Chain A
Amino acid sequence: EIVMTQSPATLSVSPGERATLSCRASQSVSSYLAWYQQKPGQAPRLLIYGASTRATGIPARFSGSGSGTEFTLTISSLQSEDFAVYYCQQYNNWPKTFGQGTKVEIK
């Protein structure tokens, strides 16, 4: 099973600032990497797939990069609605595993 490790566990950012979240895979997943956003009491929502392609309706301030084992999600200018938990997921191998999440909180 591929283990996904996210860092940091918590990121404190001021509105308008840039946030950079990391995700590392225990073995290569090529570009088969997705990012999800989850707000309290809600289901996860797909943000990015293929490591860098935004899902339908996702604002351009969200961008993804990386391949192999190292991936990054960048939120260029944090809006109030972006404070949430973010998860990465690999879908290169079964089972499709998730990271433990990064909480983006207001500084």
Chain B
Amino acid sequence: EVQLVESGGDLVQPGGSLRLSCAASGFTFSSYWMHWVRQAPGKGPVWVSRINNDGSSTSYADSVKGRFTISRDNAKNTLYLQMNSLRAEDTAVYYCARDMIGFDPWGQGTLVTVSS
């Protein structure tokens, strides 16, 4: 079964940092591009970042560029999102998703709350 499991979400103060992880199983992780998508309460999903299959190419939404870093460890079948200089508007459930034609599947999500 193809599965993605996120972890690392927490309550953090504005200006703080957090690293999210996404453990993949059931497919050849190193063959796929991967994404992070976030969803604020009551809002639609918003794409955050993507990484190609070998980690040599990345891109980011303007809202997180310079603050967030996506990376992957294909030996560990794990995707990461390092989030620095966090702001209140970064509060959301963060999902990892595999790049297919569309995003499929998604993980169950991990909640990041930025508040003092």
| A contact set with B: CB distance below 8 Å | 34, 36, 42-46, 49-50, 53, 55, 87, 89, 91, 94-101
Q: How many A-B residue pairs have CB under 8 A?
A: 52
Q: Is residue B53 contacting chain A, with contact meaning CB distance below 8 A?
A: no
Known: A55-B104, A89-B102. A43 touches B95 (CB 8 A): yes
Residues from chain A with Cβ under 8 Å of B105 in the complex: 43, 45-46
- The SS class assigned to the B binding surface is strand
Q: 1/0 per residue B86-103: CB within 8 Å of A?
A: 000000000100001111
Known: A87-B45, A89-B45. 6 other contacts (CB 8 A): A34-B101, A36-B102, A45-B106, A49-B100, A53-B101, A95-B61
* A91–B100 alpha-carbon span in the complex (Å): 11
Known: A44-B45, A87-B44, A87-B45. A94 touches B104 (CB 8 A): no
Residues from chain A with Cβ under 8 Å of B95 in the complex: 43-44
B107-A46 in contact (CB<8A): no
